[in-house]
Structure 1
Amino acid sequence: MDFAFDARTEELRAKLLAFMDEHVHPAEAVAHEQRERLASPWENPPVVEELKAEARRQGLWNLFLPDSEYGAGLTNLQYAPLAEIMGRSPQLAPTVTNCAAPDTGNMEVLTQFGDEQQRKQWLEPLLAGEIRSAFAMTEPDVASSDATNITTHIERDGDEYVITGRKWYISGAMHPDCKIFIVMGKTDPDGEDIRRQQSMVLVPRDTPGVTIKRAMQVFGYEDHYHGGHAEVIFDGARVPVSNLVGEEGGGFAIAQARLGPGRIHHCMRLIGMAERAIELMCRRAVSRQAFGKALAQQGVVHNWIADARVTVEQLRLLVLKTAWLMDTVGNRGAHTEIQAIKIATPRAVVEILDRAIQLHGAGGVSQDFPLAELYAGARTLMIADGPDEVHQRSLARRELKRYV
Structure 2
Amino acid sequence: MISPEAGCPVYDVDLYDDDVLSDPYPHYRALRDLGAVVWLPRNGLFALARFDDVRAALRAPGLFSSAQGVAANDHVNEMSRGTTLASDAPLHDRLRAIIAAPLLPRALEEIGPQIRAEARQLVDDLVDRREFDAVTDLAQHLPLTIVSKLVGLEDYGRGSMLRWASATFNVLGTMNPRGCAALSDVHEMRSYLGGPAIRERLRPGSWGDRIFAAADRGEVEAERCPVLMRDYLGPSLDTTIFATANLIMLFGRNPGQWDLVREDPALIPGAINEALRVESPIRGFTRHLTAAAKIGDVTIPAGSRVLLLYASANRDERKWHDPERFDVRRRASDHLGFGNGVHMCAGLHLARLEMTALLEVLAERVVRFEIGTPVLALNNVLRGLASLPVRVS
TM-score per shorter chain, which class?
under 0.3
Q: TM-score, normalised by structure 2?
A: 0.27
Q: TM-score, normalised by structure 1?
A: 0.27
Greater RCO (Cα-Cα under 8 Å, separation 6 or more): 2
